[in-house]
Structure 1
Amino acid sequence: MPVMPYEPRLRLTDLYGVPWNLSSPTCPVRLKTVKGIDGAEFELDTTTGVGQAGVSVVGRDDKESVIELEVWVGPVLPGNDALDLLRRWRKGLGRGWARDGKLMRLEALATGRFVEVRLAAKPETPLYSTMFHVGRCADAVKLMSDESWWRKKPFDKTFPSSQFGSIAVGNEGDESSWPWYRVTGPISNITIGMAGETVTLPASCNLTAGQTLEIDTDPDRWSVKHSASGDRTWKVGQRWRVKAPAENLQIPVTITGTGITSATSLRVVVPQLFHAAL
């Protein structure tokens, strides 16, 4: 009877783009144990005062995701090829930095959720002699994602102007998230928003045919960029305050304006953020 893959089915794509299917019986590096895929640590911010029974919770501090993997490297035929496998595995993990602008990616194949990770600390020295003479050794590595959340392919859809009165988008994630928009002209006197909120854009954001306006509503990356007129961020005095609500597959999006034609369209991208891999 063939050996079947087991859960959690994890694939680590290293800094050189090599995919290690850690739960596959055909992969030369296989998962023994894993910790941390159930979510990042968090702390509650609290206040208290004289005579207060207990505390008041005023916020939550979500930490970075830390995933600890223990793997078997091998079994393969002993000798230099076995050592080469160990070297390739370790080299692909790097030393905490991205390579060519890319980090490693750890994916849960059952759900399609992933995190971008870096090596968080130097692992213990591997057993080179055991690998050479036996063709197998254990290895333990600690990976870190700068983010708290596991992601999934975002909701990404472009709506023609004929659908502007009935646009609905989805966020199946555990966390509310900031949407991204691209408006393609012609359109003037634009108002846009979701879940009942709208923001009126200034005349400097008006679009002629073929021009685009890209809007990132995330306060950490806040920007409004006009394809012809450049950065309009500083022109937009009012910001969006409503995120795409979590676990809602029918979030209404509103866009209005003048001078709309069949060439006008709206692209909406909604990140999907999850607490855990599964």
Structure 2
Amino acid sequence: MTVLYELVGVQVPGKPRTVWKFGDPGCPLRLAQTPTGLGGAKFKHSRQSNARQPGATWRGRVDEINLIKLALRIGPVTEGAPALALWHSWRASLGRGEALAEFHVRSPGGGDRFQWVRLEEAVPDPDLTGLEWNGYMDEEVILAGDFPWWIGEAFERTYTPAQFAGLTITNAGDVPSWPYVELTGPGTFTFGVGTEAIVLPAIGPGQKWRIETDDEAPFVRNAAGADVWDQLGPKAWFQNVPANDTVPLNLSVTGAGAGTSALIRLPQMFERAAA
């Protein structure tokens, strides 16, 4: 298996999202060279310097957006109107920077990893003469991932109370990851990872709580999407699953019934597109 590249275009109103499987025999678009931006987003160091201080004090690393450059050959297809229609479809799938597309990299060792991307800058003027007379043209496109990491297939599993004891959870990614959980009652649940275990209020039969522990955008919501964090009180989750590590998954319940369960999802995020 070779490394495969795929772009799932932005959502155009009233139409399905276009999928471009570069290099596939059925795809009229090909890559002239390996895309850039697969080896990881750029970063810079943040340092603080003071008067009379030799050098500077390192404060941390700033991970920047990830730029991906695609060098494309559009066609060859039937020249004239069919070639121009193909080009219009391609450009429509890129959007104008507001909407997001998905750029996927599938490799033998890394599976499917992708980034949400947007068109970063206007594409240079096209050589429409090449499409009209020859049915092909070349162009370069710059995409940007606002989020620097490549997203792999998340760990996801639903547990019943009989399976709660002695669980662990593994983050195979290069980046610390925060778990998401959906708890279905009845029962009074305790949930956390590592050394953390937060006791939640009791929920009734069939009721569901959805909890995102990511400290960038945490929430606790019911099945209808309403915020119920006030029922939890002054509690929060402060431990994630470190990169390339396995930690205890602390899950327990009292007052369980026939429908009690817990769905656990842990994103797997990577510095690079392919392993």
TM-score (norm 1): 0.88
Alignment of 1:29-108 (within 5 A): 29-33=29-33, 34-98=35-99, 103-108=100-105
Q: Does 1:224 align with 2:224?
A: no
Q: From 236, 242, 247, give the equivalent of 1:251.
A: 247
User: How many angstroms apart in 2 are the aligned matches of 1:45 and 1:23?
Assistant: 41
1:270 matched residue in structure 2: 266
2:216 corresponds to which letter in structure 1?
Answer: D
What is the letter of the counterpart of residue 36 of structure 1? G
Matches within 5 A, 1:1-278: 7=3, 9-15=4-10, 16-33=16-33, 34-98=35-99, 103-110=100-107, 111-188=111-188, 190-201=189-200, 205-227=201-223, 230-234=226-230, 235-248=232-245, 250-278=246-274
**Do the aligned residues in 2 keep the contact of 1:161 with 1:263 (CA within 8 Å)?**
no
Counterpart residue identity of residue 210, structure 2: E
Shift of 1:262: 4.7
Change in Cα spacing, 1:54 to 1:23, as seen in structure 2 (3 Å) is: farther
- Number of matched residues? 264
Secondary structure in structure 1 of the residue aligned to 2:272? coil
Deviations 1:254-277 (Å, cap 9, x if unpaired)? 123421345322111101111111
1:227–1:74 distance in 2 versus 1, CA, 3 Å: closer
Using the alignment, how far apart are the partners of 1:17 and 1:227 within structure 2? 29
Could you say what secondary structure the match of 1:173 adopts? coil
Q: SS of the counterpart of 1:49?
A: coil
Change in CA separation of 1:227 and 1:126 when aligned onto 2, cut-off 3 Å: closer
Cα distance in structure 2, aligned partners of 1:245 and 1:108: 24
**CA shift for structure 1 position 133:** 1.1
Q: Within 1, Cα distance between the matches of 2:77 and 2:202?
A: 63
Q: What secondary structure is seen at the aligned counterpart in 2 of 1:82?
A: helix
Compare 156-165 and 225-234 and name the one that shifted more: 225-234
**How far apart, CA to CA, are the structure 2 residues paired with 1:183 and 1:138?**
51
Aligned 8 A contact 2:65 2:147 in 1: yes
Residues 153 and 271 of structure 1 are in contact (CA less than 8 Å); yes or no, is this contact kept in structure 2? yes
The sequence identity of aligned pairs, in percent, is 31
Secondary structure of the corresponding residue to residue 209 of structure 1: coil
Deviations 1:149-189 (A, max 9, x none): 1101211101110011122222211101111111112212x
Helix, strand or coil at the partner of 1:126: coil
Length-normalised TM-score, structure 2: 0.89
Q: Is the 8 A contact 1:6 1:23 kept in 2?
A: no
Corresponding residue SS for 2:240: coil
Distance 2:32 2:239 in 1: 43
Are the structure 2 counterparts of residues 75 and 195 from structure 1 closer, same or farther at C-alpha, using a change threshold of 3 Å?
same
Q: CA deviation at 1:124?
A: 0.4
Tell which deviates more after alignment, 122-131 or 213-222. 213-222
Of residues 173-182 and 13-22 in structure 1, the stretch that sits farther from structure 2 once superposed is: 13-22
- Contact 2:161–2:252, Cα closer than 8 Å, also in 1: no
106 and 229 in structure 1: CA distance in 2 versus 1, 3 angstrom threshold: closer
Question: What is the CA distance between 1:51 and its match in structure 2?
Answer: 4.4
SS in 1 for 2:7: strand
8 Å Cα contact 1:107/1:114 also seen in 2: yes
- CA RMSD in angstroms comes to 2.0
Deviation at 1:135, TM superposition (A): 1.5
In the alignment, the residues of structure 2 paired with residue 77 and residue 211 of structure 1 have an alpha-carbon distance, to the nearest angstrom, of: 57
CA distance in 1, matches of 2:227, 2:81: 56
In the alignment, the residues of structure 2 paired with residue 229 and residue 73 of structure 1 have an alpha-carbon distance, to the nearest angstrom, of 44
Which has the higher mean CA deviation after the structures are superposed, 229-238 or 216-225? 229-238
